[in-house]
Structure 1
């Protein structure tokens, strides 16, 4: 089963037109969410980012997205898919109607699918530096969807180089993000992460981690930094809604992983 425009539908009954604007123009966005023991992680942050994406794309989102009905139905779908204990939900939203670049409407269509998932491994990862693509700030760069081919190309480069992940830089050579995670490092007791002007996604965990650190009295700095600055950090890690993983190596340079610090974050955020 899946959810299509707020209705449960068997997968084999899904029919999408070839004029679908998600297919034709990537005219939409998506959210990836994690459900654990019948509850979403950071649901309010997902709602905020969907609202921001809709505003940037001039999409008219139905009221039930914000009033509890969507959350309830997504959890029902997770239960039907036996993914209520630990599941990964992908919600794709796109502009309805036909037309060329100029749309005929701002109304939306949407589709949600659920898969059983597992917590990410604890082991640290080895990261290369992406040479083929760079991030660039735009009104669309802070949410997921419009720039997806960039991360596809970074993933192809990851496969070719044998690293676990790739560090993507912005057009000026500043640290931006990993393929599907924001990047963080600890320097002089402060949490550092790339500024949104690098073109990085404003991730759900980025929001949650920033909020938690400020509540704990930990300074948070959104910075423009070159990759070599990571070599001097006290702890380097990647994080997205699926969890947090230390980065133990950047290309051929060993990095610091402060496991006690990371475990404290995980406990505080319950991830």
Structure 2
């Protein structure tokens, strides 16, 4: 094989990243040991789905990033409030062959060094994109976390600061061989899944836990609640036990990747079909 072909293969294998609005390869990226994301988890992230050249639910992602920045007292750059950011993210997705079906992760953290007291409220940011395949949509087999609980705080509604909670829940999921695990708060009230919000249909109402249980204020959660308001579908943010969840008409997980019904909750078989679930699928994800 010629030297030129070695170079072409090498370049094709390089992963391109967008770091502070500059394209770099993964082997060019250098972050200092004082990086505050590494030292203190001082930031947040968004996972964005790309479908047919569009950033799905982008306005909801923008809203949550602004909420996260306010809670962490971070100063987002002007780029984050312009169409240039979406253009740059889609350029990255194109270069990574992720424009038709892709996943993009946008990480934002406080710049500078310092100990617990920051030197600045300015941020650094990094975006990475990769192609994805069609979502696997069989009903979920779910267990209940017994060692890990959610805890409400001003930081619990967005992604990043509480990541160790979901890591520990992921270890329980792996140990029990489940598709997902249901997280409860300290009062044993249903809160969320490890990577998705939980919804259930009870009678004529769509139910979901309130943010006070410590759950993430998910992008699809926001979109579902907004859609229900527009369609005059009754919605209740309510507390529920695992036993009450098991008596629902249908239970499903919802995040930016899609909606999946729960077919089994611990030892209980659950219904997986409901007209409202079909409407949500077709209206928000079709």
Short-chain TM bin: over 0.9
Q: How does 1:19-168 map to 2 (within 5 A)?
A: 19-168=34-183
2: distance between equivalents of 1:18 and 1:270?
Answer: 41
Q: CA deviation at 1:262?
A: 2.2
Q: In structure 2, how many angstroms separate the alpha carbons of the residues matched to 1:231 and 1:159?
A: 22
Query: Where does structure 2 lack aligned partners over 5 or more consecutive residues?
Result: 1-15
Query: Aligned partners of 1:62, 1:190: CA distance in 2, in Å?
Result: 41
Task: Report if aligned partners of 2:258, 2:285 keep a CA contact under 8 Å in 1.
Answer: no
User: Per-residue displacement from partner, 1:143-185 (whole Å, max 9, x unpaired)?
Assistant: 0000001101100110100111000000110000000000000
Separation in structure 2 between the aligned mates of residue 7 and residue 122 of structure 1, nearest angstrom = 36
Verify the 8 A CA contact 2:18 2:24 in the aligned structure 1. Answer: yes
Paired with 2:242 and 2:229, the residues of 1 have a C-alpha distance of 25
Give secondary structure in 1 for the equivalent of 2:146.
coil
TM-score, with length taken from structure 1: 0.98
Deviation at 1:259, TM superposition (A): 4.7
Partner of 1:185: 200
Indicate the structure (1 or 2) with the bigger Cα radius of gyration: 2
Structure 1 stretches of 4+ with a deviation exceeding 4 A read: none
SS of residue matched to 1:134 = strand
SS at 2:149 equivalent: coil
Contact 2:110/2:122 (8 A) holds in 1: yes
If the length of structure 2 is used for normalisation, what is the TM-score? 0.93
Query: Do 1:86 and 1:116's aligned partners in 2 also have CA atoms closer than 8 Å?
Result: yes
1:105 and 1:122 map into 2 onto residues whose CA distance is 44
Distance 2:233 2:134 in 1: 26
